[in-house]
Structure 1
Amino acid sequence: MGCQYNLLFLFLCGFAALSVSTETCGKDLLVGTSCIIKLTTENKEKPSEIKWFHETRNGYILRWKGGTIREISEGVSMEEDGSLKFSSVSLKDMGKYTFSAFNDAGEEIGKGEVEIKVYEKAPKPAVKIICTKNGNATLTCDIGKREDLTLSWYKEDKIIENVKNPQVSLSSTEVQENKPYSCEAHNPVSKGKSESVTVSCSNPGLSNLICIDIWVMVSILAGGGALLLLLICVLILCAYRSSRQRTKQQQDKKEFRLTELTPGHTSTNNSEQTTREQPAAPIL
């Protein structure tokens, strides 16, 4: 019974090892891929010396002899059969790789060359609409500063153009009003597609005129409001001064009436009036 469990355990372990085994490097790779460049020899003879050379780095990236690794670069390792393994490829790993294998007598028993290309993941682009004065539209596909991508333009989800230069825009003669457009950026290992955008650039002159009229109206209203505020201030000042004058006149009248009703003030006035009425005495 225990033997059966052991066999089952070994089978599961072997299955798991196969499921996570690294694949052979293809020609086009996505950044971060783990893969192996296979080494082959004549007549399956086991080599005693292996050399891996990378043209871009201009030197050996792995050199093995007599069971010992004499030289190795970062990010690579050697399999039991002499194959070159990448833990995670990057852009610097792009280029041609050559290998040479030798037996104990120093005779070359295997050689080969493999070229790989590494690409970054394609971003999700965005469509930008540029409206001209005559009402036409030019579409651009914003992918940042990437130069390694090919663009495809879609109208109503149907491809209409492929552009290898990502800086080329969709000209106004190819764009129709009120139609949905999208673009897709892709390379051999990944792609990203934008959201659909409906083109609308009708009557840009009228739109600009309306915008200008609105600003004129705002300016007029602002000037009129300032004039109205000044007029209100003048009216308030005039009303205040008029109120003060009326108050002063009422106070003067009240004081005059009180003076007339005072007894001393009346007799004095009468005596002065009698004196003025008597004729002057003749001069002798």
Structure 2
Amino acid sequence: MTMMQNVTILLFIAVFLSGALGSKAACTYRAVGDTFVIPLNDAEEEIPPDSSLTWTHNETVRVYLKRGSNVRIKTHDINTRGSLILENVQIIHSGKYTARVYNKDGTLRTASSLELCVRDPVLEPTVTVKCEENGTILTCRTSNNTETTVLWIKNGKETLNVSNTVLHVHSSELKHRFSCRVRNEISEKTSKDVPPVCFHTGPTSEKSDEKNNNNTTQNTNDDSSEEKYVFGLDLWWMLVLVTGVGIVMLIIVCLVCVCCQKKRRKAREEEEYRLTALVSSDQSDQKTERSERLAKSQRPLPPVPVPRCPPSPPYM
């Protein structure tokens, strides 16, 4: 009984692995941005106009549905043969696409499916060099892809049996040039050749030869390296420092000019304000004087005296 269970488990695992590998092998790869037509069938015959056609994505989302001549869902277009047209495909369009054609009486006429895998094209990789005592470490770097295969190439021809992103180069091989190639299912790119040169690495014999026989060359290199320093600083750092100081001085001069302009404007406004106040006070004095003159000229005349009558004689 136990043996039967083990056999059953092994068969189940084998079926599962074969299904997984089969689905991966059956995947159709396309690059991001491509236009891809998923065929309805190999016969490439036109579907009857009175038939029904359904395209689904991952068996759940309907991307096209028609009943006879009535189109109900149209996320993507189809051609006259019923093939699904995907334009500007993206990563989200990856998955299984299934098509089913039904006759007018509801019986299944045609069914097909296809697994689509959309990938980003690989970008050109770069190789970085890290120095060690006995050689160098080369690292192949790419920015946009994780599902890639890495190959190392020596002197542009020989392919090394190394598939890692890191390559250890012994000091005896520093005379060669190396590059890396990254690839996925839709594209591949190769980096530029890099000489794994480090000033402190290399065979001991080469170091001794350089010390004993190339003193003149070393002195020349020392002189050229000294020329790159100004006042104890590297020439590039000196240029950066001078540029920074110049920018700061320019900002200070601009700020001083702005402050002086504001100060002059403020003094001009204060002077105009004083003149305006003085003119307004003079005008008010003139108005007061005019009003007094007008008041004096319009004083009322003295009343006219009433004539007095002589007393009447007594009545007799």
Instruction: Give, as a single letter, the amino acid of the residue that structure 2 aligns with 1:37.
Output: I
Cα distance, 1:41 vs structure 2: 8.8
CA distance in 2, matches of 1:122, 1:199: 24
CA distance in 1, matches of 2:195, 2:186: 29
2:68 equivalent to 1:66: yes
> Which residue of structure 2 lines up, in the alignment, with residue 50 of structure 1?
53
RMSD: 3.3
> Which residue of structure 1 lines up, in the alignment, with residue 31 of structure 2?
30
Cα distance, 1:100 vs structure 2: 0.7
Cα distance, 1:204 vs structure 2: 5.4
Identify if the C-alpha distance between structure 1 residues 120 and 40 changes in structure 2 by more than 3 Å, giving closer, same or farther: same
> Which residue of structure 1 lines up, in the alignment, with residue 155 of structure 2?
156
Q: Secondary structure at the match of 2:167?
A: coil
> Which residue of structure 1 lines up, in the alignment, with residue 176 of structure 2?
179
Q: TM-score, normalised by structure 1?
A: 0.56
Cα distance, 1:97 vs structure 2: 0.9
Instruction: Give, as a single letter, the amino acid of the residue that structure 1 aligns with 2:117.
Output: K
On the 8 A contact 2:125/2:191 being kept in 1, the answer is: yes
Q: Secondary structure at the match of 2:161?
A: strand
On the 8 A contact 2:123/2:144 being kept in 1, the answer is: no
Cα distance, 1:145 vs structure 2: 4.8
Cα distance, 1:137 vs structure 2: 0.6
Give percent identity, aligned residues only: 22
CA distance in 1, matches of 2:84, 2:135: 56
- Runs of at least 5 residues in structure 2 that lack an aligned partner in the other structure: 1-26, 208-224, 234-316
Cα distance, 1:172 vs structure 2: 3.9
Aligned with residue 194 of structure 1, among 188, 191, 195: 191
Cα distance, 1:181 vs structure 2: 0.3
On the 8 A contact 1:42/1:110 being kept in 2, the answer is: no
On the 8 A contact 1:138/1:175 being kept in 2, the answer is: no
Q: Secondary structure at the match of 2:92?
A: helix
Cα distance, 1:186 vs structure 2: 1.1
- Runs of at least 5 residues in structure 1 that lack an aligned partner in the other structure: 1-25, 207-213, 223-284
> Which residue of structure 1 lines up, in the alignment, with residue 131 of structure 2?
131
CA distance in 2, matches of 1:99, 1:43: 14
> Which residue of structure 1 lines up, in the alignment, with residue 116 of structure 2?
116
On the 8 A contact 2:140/2:166 being kept in 1, the answer is: yes
Q: How many correspondences in the alignment?
A: 180
Q: How does 1:10-29 map to 2 (within 5 A)?
A: 27-29=28-30
Identify if the C-alpha distance between structure 1 residues 95 and 175 changes in structure 2 by more than 3 Å, giving closer, same or farther: farther
Identify if the C-alpha distance between structure 1 residues 174 and 140 changes in structure 2 by more than 3 Å, giving closer, same or farther: farther
On the 8 A contact 1:97/1:115 being kept in 2, the answer is: yes
> Which residue of structure 1 lines up, in the alignment, with residue 244 of structure 2?
none
CA distance in 1, matches of 2:86, 2:199: 55
CA distance in 2, matches of 1:60, 1:171: 52
Cα distance, 1:51 vs structure 2: 0.8
**CA-to-aligned-CA distance 1:28-74 (integer Å, 9 cap, x gap):** 11111112111139995626111111118x3111111121221132x
> Which residue of structure 1 lines up, in the alignment, with residue 139 of structure 2?
140
CA distance in 1, matches of 2:29, 2:103: 32
On the 8 A contact 2:51/2:102 being kept in 1, the answer is: yes
Cα distance, 1:115 vs structure 2: 1.0
> Which residue of structure 1 lines up, in the alignment, with residue 270 of structure 2?
none
Cα distance, 1:135 vs structure 2: 3.8
CA distance in 2, matches of 1:42, 1:103: 17
